[in-house]
């Protein structure tokens, strides 16, 4: 029989490996859809464990572990991509232990830790496989940040008769050593905003001979802000995150167009769709009031639904994780307004997305995700390995 003590001991044995692996991955990040070296590294580690690999997409793949006895099938998932952004050498209190060696790529969301923890968990589960029943599928998903790998991953997994899927996200807003397996909505749905306000360019000295798209864009921004206050259901939270406005090349040249991009986030799908359509409607009339036209880019779309935890899996995880962790480890955590491709897995089987705290004020790992100062407390990784192993063993052996 597999005991909690055996799981903890096995997790401690791989803890240093997980920390060093995360360090290597952090220093060598690759952006979404271009994780070629990352994928090669991961496959090398998997092959060393003797597990068969199945290619899924350009860089995404799965590996399979057959346990001693037949039984259920459980999938464990990690994302593998980094963000296209620079990184600061400092976190919130000082110099980081690991910094990206690539100036325009950075693991500022925690995916490096996710990969390292899943590799460490694989080592543990391979070691303990004779105490387990069923099949475990380890999923390394390409391009989570832009959603370029999820469709092919779902196609492959749809043929595997999976009974449940588990994923982890390290969080800087939760203290190191804490875990949240709350049921229901955990992360938002998202829609992408990408529009061009079209005017007519000309000489800056004669604005009357041009149609200035800057004023059209300004009117769009102001009109959207008032629409959000007055037309979005006050009982539902929908955030409007306009992030870029671009147009023009010189002070004396009126441009032909100005672009605006951003996102909206929501937990209620119907209200999110209403908000998305509202953006189009309001922006069209606001631009027209300045004699401008508007073009919506093909990429402007509903990009993700909310990530929702299965209630039964959530209760199951809470029961069994409370058996292995000290009191106070499991906490109730507020919803997170970021979005995740993990929501898509629920179309295949019950899914559970777990938050594991990696925030530590003393070492400076409390910066927001997608921030140049973002960092992780590597002492959080063993919590992720123990959580995943305990859940997997409990689920498969029932």
pLDDT, tens digit, for every residue of 5-30? 999 999 999 999 999 999 999 999 99
- The pLDDT, as a whole number, for residue 374 is 98
**HSE value, Cβ hemisphere, 13 Å, CA-based, for 148:** 16
Residues 6+ apart with CB under 8 A from 285: 223
Domain boundaries, position 78:
4-187+306-397
26 and 174 housed in the same domain: yes
DSSP letter, residue 293: E
Tell whether 280 and 348 lie within a shared domain.
no
Better-scored residue on pLDDT, 234 or 62: 62
| Domain final residue pick, 303, 332, 351 | 303
Q: Model pTM?
A: 0.93
Query: Same structural domain for residues 193 and 174?
Result: no
pLDDT above 90: residue 359? yes
Using an 8 Å Cβ cutoff, are 298 and 377 in contact?
A: no
**Max CA pair span of the chain:** 83
What residues form DSSP beta bridges with 133? 69
Residues 205 and 289 in one domain: yes
* Distance between CA atoms of residues 14 and 125, nearest Å: 11
Residue at a domain's end among 288, 303, 318:
303
Check whether residue 181 and residue 119 sit in a common domain.
yes
- 234 with 181, same domain: the answer is no
Determine contact, residues 121/76, Cβ cutoff 8 Å.
yes
Please state the rounded mean pLDDT for residues 31-46: 98
Query: Over the chain, what is the mean pLDDT?
Result: 97
Domain boundary among 283, 303, 323: 303
Q: Tell whether 181 and 274 lie within a shared domain.
A: no
Quick one: which of 293, 280, 301, 297 has its CA closest to 197?
293
pLDDT at 28 (0 to 100): 98
Same domain, 256 and 335: no
Using the predicted structure, report yes or no on whether residue 1 has a pLDDT greater than 90: no
Same domain, 132 and 262: no
**Per-residue pLDDT at 398 exceeds 90:** no
The answer to whether residues 298 and 232 belong to one domain is: yes
Helix (H, G, I), strand (E, B) or coil at 215: helix
State which H helix or E strand residue 304 sits in.
strand 302-304
110 CB burial (10 A radius; 0-12, 13-18, 19+): buried
Residue-wise pLDDT for 236-279, tens only, equals 999 999 999 999 999 999 999 999 999 999 999 999 999 999 99
8 Å CB contact between 79 and 117: no
Same domain, 172 and 103: yes
Where residue 302 falls among pLDDT bands split at 50, 70, 90? very high
Residue range 139-143: mean pLDDT, rounded? 98
pLDDT one-digit tens code per residue, 60-115: 999 999 999 999 999 999 999 999 999 999 999 999 999 999 999 999 999 999 99
Q: How many separate domains does the chain show?
A: 2
Q: Do 197 and 232 sit in the same domain of this protein? A: yes
Alpha carbons within 13 angstroms on the beta-carbon side of residue 298 total 0
pLDDT recorded at residue 73 = 98
pLDDT 10s digits, 180-200:
999 999 999 999 999 999 999
How many helices (H) does the chain have, and how many strands (E)?
Answer: 8, 16
Bind-site residues for Mn(2+): 109, 111, 145, 169, 370
Instruction: Point out the annotated binding site.
Output: 109, 111, 145, 169, 370
Backbone angles phi, psi at 253, to 5 degrees: -125, 120
């Amino acid at each position: 029989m597999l005991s909690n003590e055996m799981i903890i001991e096995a997790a401690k044995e791989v803890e240093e490996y997980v920390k060093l692996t995360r360090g290597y991955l952090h220093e060598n990040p690759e952006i979404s859809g271009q994780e070629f070296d990352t994928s090669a590294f991961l496959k090398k580690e998997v092959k060393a464990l003797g597990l068969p690999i199945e290619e899924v997409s350009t860089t995404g793949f799965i590996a399979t572990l057959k346990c001693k006895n037949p039984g259920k099938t459980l999938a464990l998932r990690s994302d593998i991509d980094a963000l296209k952004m620079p990184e600061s050498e400092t976190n919130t209190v000082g110099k980081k232990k690991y910094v990206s060696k690539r100036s325009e790529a950075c693991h500022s969301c925690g995916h490096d830790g996710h990969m390292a923890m899943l590799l460490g968990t694989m080592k543990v589960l391979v070691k303990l496989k004779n105490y387990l029943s069923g099949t475990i599928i380890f999923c390394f998903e390409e391009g989570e940040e832009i959603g370029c790998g999820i469709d092919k991953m779902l196609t492959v997994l749809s043929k595997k008769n999976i009974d449940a899927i588990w994923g982890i996200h390290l969080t800087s807003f939760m203290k190191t050593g804490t875990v949240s397996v709350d049921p229901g909505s955990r992360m938002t749905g998202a829609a992408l905003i990408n529009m061009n306000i079209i005017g007519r360019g000309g000489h800056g000295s004669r604005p009357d001979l041009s149609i200035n798209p800057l004023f059209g864009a300004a009117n769009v921004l102001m009109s959207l802000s008032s629409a959000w206050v007055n037309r979005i259901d006050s009982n539902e939270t929908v955030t409007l995150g306009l992030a870029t406005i671009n147009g023009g090349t010189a002070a004396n040249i009126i441009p032909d167009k100005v672009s605006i991009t951003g996102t909206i986030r929501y937990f209620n799908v119907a209200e999110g769709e209403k908000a998305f359509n509202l953006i189009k409607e309001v922006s069209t009339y606001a631009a027209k009031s300045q004699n401008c036209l508007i073009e919506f880019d093909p990429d402007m779309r509903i990009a993700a639904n909310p990530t929702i935890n299965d209630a039964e899996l959530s209760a199951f995880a809470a029961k069994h994780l409370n058996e292995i962790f000290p009191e106070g480890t499991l906490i109730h955590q507020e919803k997170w307004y970021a979005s995740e491709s993990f929501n898509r897995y629920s179309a295949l089987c019950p899914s559970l997305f777990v938050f594991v705290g990696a925030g530590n004020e003393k070492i400076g790992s409390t910066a927001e995700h997608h921030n140049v100062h973002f960092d992780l407390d590597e002492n959080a990784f063993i919590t992720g390995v123990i959580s995943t192993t305990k859940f997997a063993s409990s689920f498969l052996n029932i």
